[in-house]
Amino acid sequence: MARQIITGIRLAAMTAGGVPYGLVEDAAVAVEDGRIAFAGERAALPQGWSDAPGQDFGGRLATPAFVDCHTHIVHGGHRAREFEMRLQGASYEEVARAGGGIVSTVSATRELSEDALVAGALPRLDALIAEGVATVEIKSGYGLTVADELKMLRAARRLGLLRPVRVKTTYLAAHALPPEYKGQANAYIDDVVLPGMDAAHEEGLVDAVDGFCEGIAFSPDEMARVFDHADKLGLPVKLHAEQLSNLGGARLAASHGALSADHLEYLDEDGVAAMARAGSVAVLLPGAFYTLRETQLPPVDALRRAGVPIAVATDCNPGSSPLASLLLTLNMACTLFRLTPEEALAGATREAARALGLAGEIGTIEPGKRAELAIWDVEHPAELAYRIGFNPLHRRIVGDAA
């Protein structure tokens, strides 16, 4: 049995409800076969561990390894030209209606082989890993044919074999209406979204089903058809909701017991209450808010009051959030959305794990969970959200591969 003790750490265990950050000075973590057997004060280490091989980290800070719970890192091309257009005054919606936006990334993604998609995504994945990420969610949604959606999901799964990272894949064929189905959303759902979901599920490529509920994408009624099908297959759902307007998407997602609703700038009290009842996580995406120069803030106070768990993620994508840094995301979540550094850090660990249905496995450092830690050259956990453009990661520990 592989046993190991990690000592010489200040532990930010990120367990809920106790001291801030779940902070323990002079801590030890005992690991057995990749799972945490003990985490707490070194002096309280149970008997029998003193002879286990150990690693001393010289007083550095240990947190749960990061979880990026909302990304689109598999895609073709880039949208720097659109960035220029927006700087000349065009809005995200105007660019999308002019044939740019998501649909232009669809053309670029359809042109690439699975190998080329993997090669293109690796530098983005490596940037995330370099900042302590050990779990990343990757969406499809730029293929929009059955074959191209499957190609994206296969590429996403391969990334998890090429790097020491857990990949959770999300089926997002209901991301945009491809030009060949203009004005025919229901036909697109019948011909592509539902059969593609069956095919991807049959191949074991789907961990969750997502959609984009918005005026430029799918209506709540259309999304309900997609979610009904996911329910039949037993797949959990999540939704890009209330990003540009309030269509009641979060309420719809909550009515299907969604793992999360994401973006949420235009979420109202009704939507907050529905999410609280369903236990859905609010995934805030400050990179998209920043890139689109959005001014409507997500209702953070209402989410707090209702006890809705709040996660943060990069939303790494070529259009609305070309951001491959979860550390910068923490900073933006605090500066733009006024999250506390503790909320932001919980949002990239404990609550991000919950948004992926992994709350029992990762996201905090406590007995029974996987031993996935990030060791940082910082003194206080608030430093992780406070600095801009600085990466203090010393080491990632992922299971037995310390």
Q: Which of the choices ligand NIG, Fe ion, none does residue 349 contact, using the CB cut-off of 5 to 8 A by kind?
A: none
CB 137 within 8 A of CB 170: yes
Instruction: Confirm or deny that 17 is annotated as ligand binding.
Output: no
Nearer to Fe ion, 42 or 86 (CB): 86
Query: Six-digit token pair at 302?
Result: 């209402």
Query: Six-digit token pair at 328?
Result: 């910068």
Instruction: Confirm or deny that 380 is annotated as ligand binding.
Output: no
Nearer to ligand NIG, 21 or 227 (CB): 227
Is residue 240 involved in binding ligand NIG (CB under 6 A)?
Answer: yes
Choice from 5, 152, 197, 288 touching ligand NIG (CB under 6 A): 288
Kindly give, in sequence order, each residue whose CB lies less than 8 Å from that of residue 245, ignoring residues fewer than 6 positions away.
Answer: 214, 215, 266
Stretch (H or E) spanning 261:
strand 260-263
Closest CA to 343 of 389, 314, 393, 307: 307
Choice from 248, 319, 322, 381 touching ligand NIG (CB under 6 A): 319
Question: Per-residue string for binding with ligand NIG, 170-209, x by CB under 6 A?
Answer: ----------------------------------------
Is residue 131 involved in binding Fe ion (CB under 5 A)?
Answer: no
Instruction: Confirm or deny that 186 is annotated as ligand binding.
Output: no
Question: Per-residue string for binding with ligand NIG, 90-129, x by CB under 6 A?
Answer: -----------xx--x------------------------
Instruction: Confirm or deny that 243 is annotated as ligand binding.
Output: yes
Q: How far is the CB of 239 from ligand NIG (least distance, A)?
A: 10
CB 300 within 8 A of CB 271: no
CA–CA gap between residue 182 and residue 161 (Å, rounded): 37
Query: Six-digit token pair at 286?
Result: 């400050």
Instruction: Confirm or deny that 198 is annotated as ligand binding.
Output: no
Which residue intervals of 258-374 are DSSP H helices?
269-278, 286-291, 300-306, 326-337, 341-347, 350-355
Q: How far is the CB of 78 from ligand NIG (least distance, A)?
A: 10
Amino acid identity for residue 194 in this structure: L
Is residue 243 involved in binding ligand NIG (CB under 6 A)?
Answer: yes
Closest CA to 137 of 393, 363, 392: 363
Binding site listing for Fe(3+)? 70, 72, 240, 315
Binding site listing for N-formimidoyl-L-glutamate? 142, 317, 319
